[in-house]
Amino acid sequence: MTCVVHIHRIRGIGGSERHLLTLLPALAERGVEPVFLGLDDPAGVLEPFYRELGVESVRLPCPRDLDPALAWRVRRELRRLRPDLVHTHLVHADVYGALGARRLVSTKHNDDPFRAGAFRFVERALARRAAKVIAITQALARFQVERVGLPDEKVEVIHYGLDELPVAWGSNPADHVQPDARVLLAVCRLEPQKGVDVAVRALPDIRARHPQAELVVLGEGPERSGLEELASTLQVPVHLLGRVPDVAAWLRRADLLVHPVRWEGFGLALLEAMLASKPVVATNVSSIPEIVADGETGLLVPPDDAAALAAAVTRVLDDPGSYGEQGRRRAQSKFSVGRMTDRTLALYETALRGTGPRV
């Protein structure tokens, strides 16, 4: 049986973590022995991830970005586990995992602009040590090749896959959303990248036509106080609920998903909304046009354009049509777990046959 150790720094459950919670059990069902090596940030909310994981895990504390001792501990664990392949996810895992891997695969989950700055030289060095590099979308693959400078022949696209909504790990607390509200749901971190401020600024125009519209945001982050102040200034109902145990309950309650990001690696919340048969209004950036079919499963608008976002949300609230049903069909046909697992296994076979350096 092929043993593959996946490495990722864990702070909570975001898109890349949700991906692992789906991929690792699917690999196990197909005869791979996945082991998860978690680099735990003690400031995060970690236990829900590990409760849901369902495969063998090894946990190492990772309170700092740079920790030479952690590099030694990761290398020691990899020597003990003796995997056939090491599969890293995101920057910390890429750096620490590459030092101890004999055969390496790396998944790139986002197109954060910092990767195209000085850090691109680190990315290129790590790519030289990898047998294969996975990009989760075509847009991200172009970013890695054209802006970061990774070799095109090493980069392969494997989309995220999802078959069902997130499993609840508890009951949601009481909230102040009106029972008859038209719920505009955002599922994201409260960071500038996610553009929640644009959704808040769009809300007055939306409520001019749909006065029952309220914005509900599931996620936490450093922008909380600024968003609260903006909502108070504009006098609009914005509910920043933080991390909730039952995201699916909010997806069922929502009228649509709003996703006004400034850039995006994938946007797993888009797939979740589509599986819940909800229309999506999102920005036409990065990977999003690969997931949301404009005019079929939702509407796409320019980034940082509150007026355009308001107009699109209003249009969907006026007439949701078949956006939700078309989205569900698209998610099931193009972004299934089976399709993702097949492509991942094929890439592992290529890596293990000797394509790329043995490090």
Please tell me the pTM assigned to this model: 0.86
Lowest-confidence pick of 189-193, 215-219, 355-359: 355-359
CB half-sphere exposure, 8, CA atoms < 13 A: 26
- CA–CA dist 327, 48 (Å, integer): 28
The domain over range 182-334 is classified in CATH as 3.40.50.2300: no
The predicted structure's pLDDT at residue 13: 83
Using the predicted structure, report yes or no on whether residue 103 has a pLDDT greater than 70: yes
pLDDT at 315: 98
In the predicted model, what is the mean pLDDT of residues 13-35?
93
pLDDT score recorded for residue 355: 45
Write down the pLDDT at residue 83. Answer: 96
Residue 357: pLDDT above 60?
no
**Burial tier of 352 (Cβ tally within 10 Å: 0-12, 13-18, 19+):** middle
Residue range 159-200, pLDDT digits in tens:
999 999 988 888 999 999 999 999 999 999 999 999 999 999
Mean pLDDT of 197-209: 98
**Average pLDDT estimate for 211-230:** 97
- Range list of H helices, 101-218: 120-129, 138-142, 196-209
- SS3 assignment, position 175: coil
The band of 358, judged by pLDDT with boundaries at 50, 70 and 90, is very low
Token digits of residue 295: 């005019």
Output the six-digit token pair for 220. 């936490």
Q: Return mean pLDDT, the chain.
A: 93
Residue 48 pLDDT grade (very low, low, confident, very high; cuts 50, 70, 90) = confident
Distance CA 248, CA 251 (A): 5
For residues 177 and 199, the answer to whether their CB atoms sit within 8 Å is no
Rounded to whole angstroms, how far apart are CA atoms 93 and 6? 9
Amino acid 211: pLDDT: 98
CA distance 324 to 288: 16
The answer to whether 340 and 161 are in contact (CB under 8 A) is yes
CATH number of 3-161+336-353: 3.40.50.2000
Judge whether 3-161+336-353 and 182-334 match in fold: yes
Task: Summarize pLDDT for 130-155 with one digit per residue, the tens.
Answer: 999 999 999 999 999 999 999 999 99
Would you kindly state where each structural domain of the chain is located, as residue ranges? 3-161+336-353, 182-334
Which tens digit of pLDDT belongs to each residue from 248-262?
A: 999 999 999 999 999
Give me the percent of the chain exceeding a pLDDT of 90.
81
